[in-house]
Amino acid sequence: MQNLLRILAYLKKYRHYALMNILFNVLTVVFSLFSVVMIIPFLQLLFGKIPMVMQQPALRYSAEYVFEYFKYLLSVEISTSGQLVALTKFCVFIAVLFLFKNLFRFMAVYFLAPMRSGVVTDIRNELYQKILSLPLSYYSKERKGDIIARLSDDVREVEYSIISFVEITVREPLNIVIFIVALLLLSAQLTGFVLVMLLVTGFIIGRVGKSLKQQSNEAQNIQGRLISIADETLGGLRIIHAFNAEKFMLEQFKKTNARLFGVSTRMNSRRELSSPLTEFLAICVVCMVLYYGGSLVIEHNNLEAETFIGFMVLFAQLIPPAKNFSTASYNIRKGLASAQRIFEVMDAEVKITEGTNAKSISAFQSSIEFKNVSFAYHNFDDKKILDDINLKIAKGKVVALVGQSGAGKTTLVDLLPRFYDVSQGEILIDSVNIKDYKLKDLRGQLGMVSQESILFNDTVYNNIAFGIENATREKVQEAARIANAHDFISKLEKGYDTEIGDRGSKLSGGERQRLTIARAVLKNPPILILDEATSSLDANSEKLVQDALTKLMKDRTTIVIAHRLSTIQYADEIMVMQDGKIIERGNHLGLLAKGGTYKKLVDLQAF
Instruction: Supply the pLDDT for residue 433.
Output: 93
Which segment of 271-275, 281-285, 317-321 scores lowest on mean pLDDT? 271-275
DSSP secondary structure string for all residues of 154-217:
IHHHHIIIIIHHHHHHHHHHHHHHHHHHHHHHH-HHHHHHHHHHHHHHHHHHHHHTTTHHHHHH
Instruction: Supply the pLDDT for residue 416.
Output: 92
Instruction: Supply the pLDDT for residue 215.
Output: 63
Sequence-separated (6 or more) residues with CB below 8 Å from residue 169: 325, 328
- Overall average pLDDT of the 336-358 stretch: 84
Instruction: Supply the pLDDT for residue 502.
Output: 80
> Can you tell me the distance from the alpha carbon of 353 to that of 351, in angstroms, rounded to the nearest whole number?
6
- Overall average pLDDT of the 332-344 stretch: 81
pLDDT band per the 50, 70, 90 thresholds, residue 71: confident
Pairing mode, strands 367-375 and 386-394: antiparallel
Output the average pLDDT for the chain. Answer: 80
Residue 392 φ/ψ region, left for φ over 0, alpha for ψ in the -120 to 50 degree band, beta for the rest: beta
Phi, psi of 493, deg, nearest 5:
-55, -45
Instruction: Supply the pLDDT for residue 238.
Output: 62
> Can you tell me the distance from the alpha carbon of 371 to that of 411, in angstroms, rounded to the nearest whole number?
15
Instruction: Supply the pLDDT for residue 244.
Output: 73
- Overall average pLDDT of the 132-160 stretch: 80
533 has a pLDDT exceeding 70: no
pLDDT band per the 50, 70, 90 thresholds, residue 144: confident
Instruction: Supply the pLDDT for residue 275.
Output: 64
126 or 195: which leads in pLDDT: 126
250 has a pLDDT exceeding 80: yes
Sequence-separated (6 or more) residues with CB below 8 Å from residue 153: 220, 223, 338
Domains of the chain, residue spans: 2-346, 367-604
Sequence-separated (6 or more) residues with CB below 8 Å from residue 362: 441
Decide: residue 50, CB within 10 A, 0-12 exposed, 13-18 middle, 19+ buried. middle
Percent helix / strand / coil, the chain, rounded to 5 = 65, 10, 25
Decide: residue 539, CB within 10 A, 0-12 exposed, 13-18 middle, 19+ buried. exposed
Instruction: Supply the pLDDT for residue 260.
Output: 80
> Can you tell me the distance from the alpha carbon of 46 to that of 87, in angstroms, rounded to the nearest whole number?
8
- Overall average pLDDT of the 498-515 stretch: 85
Question: 237: closest CA among 534, 503, 514, 512?
Answer: 503
Instruction: List, for residues 437-480, the tens digit of each pLDDT value.
Output: 998 889 889 888 887 788 888 899 998 988 888 888 998 998 88
132 or 216: which leads in pLDDT: 132
Instruction: Supply the pLDDT for residue 573.
Output: 93
Instruction: Supply the pLDDT for residue 607.
Output: 47
For residue 576, the Cα-to-chain-centroid distance in whole angstroms is 44
Question: 558: closest CA among 447, 409, 422?
Answer: 447
521, HSE (Cβ side, Cα atoms, 13 Å): 25
- Overall average pLDDT of the 585-603 stretch: 89
Specify whether the CB–CB gap between 470 and 386 falls below 8 A.
no
Instruction: List, for residues 226-241, the tens digit of each pLDDT value.
Output: 877 877 776 666 667 7
Sequence-separated (6 or more) residues with CB below 8 Å from residue 211: 270
Instruction: Supply the pLDDT for residue 90.
Output: 77
Sequence-separated (6 or more) residues with CB below 8 Å from residue 98: 31, 35
346 or 172: which leads in pLDDT: 346
pLDDT band per the 50, 70, 90 thresholds, residue 371: very high
Instruction: List, for residues 31-50, the tens digit of each pLDDT value.
Output: 877 776 666 666 666 666 66
510 has a pLDDT exceeding 70: yes
Which of 1.20.1560.10, 3.30.200.20, 3.30.420.40, 3.20.190.10 would CATH assign to domain 2-346?
Answer: 1.20.1560.10
Q: What does pTM read for this prediction?
A: 0.71
Q: Best-predicted range by mean pLDDT among 8-17, 26-35, 199-208, 598-607?
A: 8-17
Instruction: Supply the pLDDT for residue 301.
Output: 66
Instruction: Supply the pLDDT for residue 566.
Output: 65
Whole-number percent of the chain with pLDDT over 90: 11
- Overall average pLDDT of the 398-415 stretch: 89
Specify whether the CB–CB gap between 43 and 191 falls below 8 A.
no
186 or 209: which leads in pLDDT: 186
243 has a pLDDT exceeding 90: no
Which of 3.50.50.60, 3.40.50.2000, 3.40.50.300, 3.20.20.70 would CATH assign to domain 367-604?
Answer: 3.40.50.300
Residue 551: how many CB atoms within 10 A of its CB? 13
Question: 407: closest CA among 577, 221, 526, 162?
Answer: 577
Coil vs helix vs strand at 494: coil
